[in-house]
Every structure is written in C-alpha cells, then in structure tokens.
Amino acid sequence: MLLANPLYSIQKAACRVGDGYRVLVLDGDWPNTAHVRRALEEVAGVDVHVVKRAAGSVEGQLEAIAHAAHRCGADVVLPTSLESVHLLSEHGASLAPLLPLECRIAAVPSFSALREVIDKGAFASFVALHGLAAPATQEAAARSREEKLRFPLLIKPKVGFAGAGIRRIRNADELARATADPSFNPDAHIFQELVPGYDVDCCVLCRDGELLAATVQRCRLATFRFGPPALIQFVQRADILNLARDLMKALSWSGVAHIDIRHDSRTSKPLLLEVNARYWASLPGSIAAGVNFPHLACLDALDLRHSQPTPSAHHAYGWFACPRPDELALMPTPPRLARSLATLVMGPTGTARPVWNALRTRGRITASALGLPFSQPKNRRSGALGG
C-alpha cells in the first residue's frame, strides 16, 4: 500500500506486527535496501516501512524523513545507503527534534570518521598513522619518478564501490600508458600493491568503537574481477576480528560497516583495504549465519540490551537474488524500463535467467567441493529467481 506524500512514497512491508517496534527504513530506491527490509521482516513484532530518498535541499530531505516518521509512527529511523548515512552523520542533530518524541536514529559514524573511510587515499593515510596492517599505497598525484613501485599493482579510484574502475597493472610500461591517458585524473586515484592471496570481509555493528556484532566471510566465487562475491563462506578468524576491532576503535565507529580485507598468502596475515559505511549486498548471508544486523542496529538504537550473536562458521551462502516486483517499483527507473527489466530478469524465459542459473550451479559445485553446506535466497513467488 502506497501512502500519498508529495516528497516520499512510503511502502508498508508485509510483516508480522506485535508488541515490537516500528522502523522507517530509508533508501527504498537503493538495491541493498531490499535485503535490509527482508531481514527485518523475519523478526516477529517488527513493523517495517520503506521510504524512497527525497531530492532537493538538505532541509527538504530532513523534513521529508520527519514527515514519513510521523506518518508511520516510527520508533527507529534506519539509514541503509552511504548517502543517507552521510546525511544523518552530518545533519542528524538537526533531524532529531523534527522526529516523533520517542523516535531514535540508528547509530551512524561521526562525520570525521566517515571522511577517513570514504576516500581510499585518506583511509590509507589513517591506517598507516595508527600502525594498522594494509597494502603499500601511494597517491597517484604525489608519486615522483624516482619512487619505485612493486608490480603488479592496482590503480583504484579514491571514491567508488563494487570494484568499478579498478585496473590491474603488470609493469612500468602499462603504468606509463595508463597514466598518459588524457582521461586519467591522478588526483582521483591511488596506486596500491596487488597482494597475493584472497579476499576476506568483516561485517560489523559498533557503538563508539566497540564491536556489538561481527561476521567474517571469505569470498569463494566472484561475480567478476574486483567485483562483489557470488559465493561466500563464513569463517572464524580471530586475527581478522582483532584487526577490525582495532580499526573501529581507532575510528570510534558507530553503526554498521563492511570492511574489505586481503589475506596475504606470503605472511598469512590480514591487510585492510577499505571500509564501506553502509549495508552490504551479501547481507542475506549474514542473516543465514545467524546475525541479523538490521534488527540488532534497531535494538541498539532503542537501548535494548542483547547478547553478542555467534555466527555459524563454515557455512557457504550464494546470494543470487533479484528485487521483488514491489521492490523494483521503488527503484529510480522509468516505469516502462522497470517493467522491461522485471520481465528480462525474472520472467520465465528471461534472457538473464541462464546467467543466474549458471552462477547458482557453479556456487553449488564450489560449495560441494569444499564440503560446505550451501544456501541461497528462497524462491519467492513474487519475483526472486528460483532454481
């Protein structure tokens, strides 16, 4: 059911309502919000409302959020994307007086901490200053000809996500060609050592630098080079948890974060790559492992005590899923394009179906070869891909 609102469309989620809380989930037009919504729907007594982002000035966005919170009687406002986390980190104090009396804003990092992690160059300087392990990194604009770089290396955009814009450079000639390209902007890139090994991510929920919940997942199958994983395995790694704990403490971090880490096969030690201050695409895997980060974030916002959950280890999870039609309708695409996309991906003869089926089959085979239990999103009649 859509509620009329000149700035926002609020969608009431189908869930079980009891004596729990009402949560207003922001960023309904961002794909990962669908995972957050589904995670909250699994909790009895939680009344979920999803709201799209409003365009316009900061004041207008804050007023729209407050209006939506009053309309649905929200107890918690939960940001999910980097944009809304950034908005509430900088302007949350201005939003709080506009909300219903008992409504709380879920924890977000301080604006100073956020600035340290959004820019990969700034993040590399921060971890070096605090003596935390990370690959050798240089600012592309600051590199002199006399400096020696170890190859192979990666050229990374300072600001980006999902591996977009990352290039592998094998030698000095390739580096010279890449930096001579007129489209290359040295002020917007870093050079980083390509560390042999594999990717391990640590997902956390924190309050003032203290870990309230955490999972560690190893990438077992990638969607594409430098892209997000298609198959993850949950593992128990005290060294990674300790590294994440030290980083979050140094940042005095609050809220959720997805920490990208590289296991160095030469030293068997973890190295910090970057921090994403938002909910992650593999969130359903965290839920399957027994850690419901969105629900725990709401409990923390409401000052409700909870024990730190222990994730199940050695469980493989493939997150091959598509938005449901009602979720797709919230995406910022023209209606005709949205309908076409829904037909393409989710229709019984959709051209994307063989690609997803192939990834799903490969995920099952990989998990089986590793001797790991395997799960994936359930086949929903409303639109998620089945198999």
CA-only gyration radius of the chain, Å? 21
Query: Residue 16 has what pLDDT?
Result: 33
Q: Does the reported pTM lie above 0.85?
A: no
Q: What SS3 state is found at 328?
A: helix
Weakest mean pLDDT among 43-47, 120-124, 148-152: 148-152
Mind listing the pLDDT tens digit for each residue in 266-283?
999 999 999 999 999 889
Mind listing the pLDDT tens digit for each residue in 81-95?
999 999 999 999 999
Query: Residue 147 has what pLDDT?
Result: 59
What is the fold of 136-193? Dna Ligase; domain 1 (3.30.1490)
Query: Residue 14 has what pLDDT?
Result: 34
Start-end ranges of CATH 3.30.470.20 in the chain? 197-375
Query: Residue 47 has what pLDDT?
Result: 95
Higher pLDDT, 204 or 328: 204
Does the domain at residues 197-375 carry the CATH identifier 3.30.470.20?
yes
pLDDT band, very low/low/confident/very high, at 288 (cuts 50, 70, 90) = confident
Q: What percent of the chain has pLDDT over 90?
A: 48
Q: What percent of the chain has pLDDT over 70?
A: 71
pLDDT band, very low/low/confident/very high, at 224 (cuts 50, 70, 90) = low
373-387: average pLDDT: 40
Start-end ranges of CATH 3.30.1490 in the chain? 136-193
Are 280 and 32 spatial neighbours (Cβ–Cβ below 8 Å)?
yes
210-228: average pLDDT: 81
Are 376 and 319 spatial neighbours (Cβ–Cβ below 8 Å)?
yes
pLDDT of 327 > 60? The answer is no
Quickly list DSSP for 22-81.
Answer: EEEE--TTSTTHHHHHHHHHTSTTEEEEEEPPPPS-HHHHHHHHHHHHHHHT-SEEE--S
Instruction: Calculate the average pLDDT of the chain.
Output: 79
213-232: average pLDDT: 77
Query: Residue 104 has what pLDDT?
Result: 97
5, 42, 52, 342 from 2: Cα distances, Å? 9, 21, 11, 20
237-252: average pLDDT: 97
328-357: average pLDDT: 43
pLDDT of 46 > 90? The answer is yes
From CA 11, how far away is CA 13, in angstroms rounded? 6
CB atoms within 10 A of CB 58: 12
Higher pLDDT, 19 or 74: 74
Start-end ranges of CATH 3.40.50 in the chain? 2-106
Looking at 3.40.50, 1.20.81, 2.20.28, 1.20.120, the CATH number of the domain 2-106 comes to: 3.40.50
44-64: average pLDDT: 93
Q: Running DSSP on this structure, what letter comes out for residue 312?
A: P
Give phi and psi for 137, each to the nearest 5. -135, 140
Weakest mean pLDDT among 56-70, 73-87, 106-120, 340-354: 340-354
pLDDT of 335 > 80? The answer is no
From CA 343, how far away is CA 180, in angstroms rounded? 43
Query: Residue 58 has what pLDDT?
Result: 96
